[in-house]
Amino acid sequence: MRAQIIAALICSYPAYAQTSATIKIRVVNSVTQAPIAGANVTVDGARGAQPFQLAGRTDGNGVFAGNVEFAGTHLLTAGHKGYRMIGTGLMGKMIEIQPGLANEITVEMRPLAVIAGRVLDQYGDPVRHVIVSTQAKSRAPVPGEYYESRFAGTTDDRGEYRIADVEPGKYYLVIEYSSRDERYYTPRSRYQWPEFGGLALFPAGADIEHAQQVEARSSETVRLPDAHLTMQPAVTISGRVKPAQMDRATVSVQRAGPNLSRHQSGMMSSGLALDGSFRVEVHPRWALLVHSHLAKALRHG
C-alpha cells in the first residue's frame, strides 16, 4: 500500500517543485499535548522516478527535524508503542512542504489502553492458551448485527492475559479456549480439556445480551475481574439431508444471533455422505443454527 501511494506521488508530482526545504515535526500526546520522545517519524516523497525518504526519531522535546530534497506533497507517518497517530488515513497523513521555508508540522498521537485479566475454568484453575479478543460493532454496511475484533491477547500458564495498544472505547470480550500446542505442556487444570473446550462472553455469559462491556481509557490499564470459562466436551450434531444425491453439498453449523469475529472457527461444516447423512462437532452452551449449503438443491425440488 505504501509503495502504491509513493508511486502515485511520482505520477502526480509537479515538475516545478524542485527546491529543497527544511521540515520540523513535533509529536505530541493528543490528550495532554505533552511532547512524545522516541517516536519514529518517516517522510516519504518522490522526484521523477526516484522515491525519497527522510526518517528518524524525535528528541527529548518530541521534535524531529531534517531536510527534504524537494518541496511538494509527501506522506508523513509517526509511530510509538502505546500510541496511534490520529487525523490520518490508512497509511499516514499527506502534507504539503513549501520550498525555501521552515516547514513546521505538529502530529498528535492518541495514547492507547491496556486490558488485562485472568481466565479460570469451572474448578477455579487457570486456563492456558485462551484467546481473549475485543468485539466492537462493525461500521461496515453488512447485513445483520456484526461485531469485529481488532485487539486480542492469549493467556499464559497462570491464566493471565494482557491486550496492549487498544483504541479507547467500549468493547465486549470474547473468550475462546484453544488447545493449540497444549500437548507440549502439562496443563495446570485438573482436567485435560478436549479440542473444543469452552467459549464465553465476559464475564461468563453465552450471549451478548447478558455480557458486560469493558471501557478502555487512554493511557490506562484496565484490570478486570476473573473471567470464568466452563470447559465441556464438544456436542455432536448428526442428521440426514434429503434427497441424498446432491453434488458437492455441505451442512454448516454456526452460532445464531449476532455475528462475532472469532479467532477459532465460528462455523463447523461437513460434507454429506452418499446417503445424505452428516456429523459435526460444535461448542456447547451456545444457541446454534443448523442450515445446509446445497449446490444443486433447487434442481432436486
CATH code, domain carrying 64:
2.60.40.10
The pTM is what? 0.70
Residue that finishes a domain, picked among 182, 212, 229: 229
| pLDDT tens column, 99-123 | 877 899 999 999 999 999 999 988 8
Q: Residue 85: beta bridge partners?
A: 109
How would residue 256 be classed by pLDDT, with cut points 50, 70 and 90?
low
- DSSP-derived secondary structure letter, 11: H
My answer on whether 18 and 58 are in the same domain is yes
Per the structure block, which three cell numbers stand in for 267? 462455523
My answer on whether 97 and 162 are in the same domain is no
Residue that finishes a domain, picked among 84, 110, 136: 110
| pLDDT tens column, 122-150 | 889 998 888 999 988 887 776 667 788 88
Q: Please say if the pLDDT value at position 68 is more than 70.
A: yes
Q: What is the DSSP string of 76-102?
A: EEEE-TTEEE-S--SS-EEEEEPTTSE
- DSSP-derived secondary structure letter, 126: B
My answer on whether 214 and 239 are in the same domain is no
Q: For residue 276, what are the domain limits?
A: 235-300
Residue that finishes a domain, picked among 184, 206, 229: 229
My answer on whether 99 and 32 are in the same domain is yes
Q: What is the pLDDT of residue 265?
A: 52
My answer on whether 262 and 178 are in the same domain is no
Count of domains for the chain: 3
My answer on whether 138 and 169 are in the same domain is yes
How would residue 181 be classed by pLDDT, with cut points 50, 70 and 90?
very low
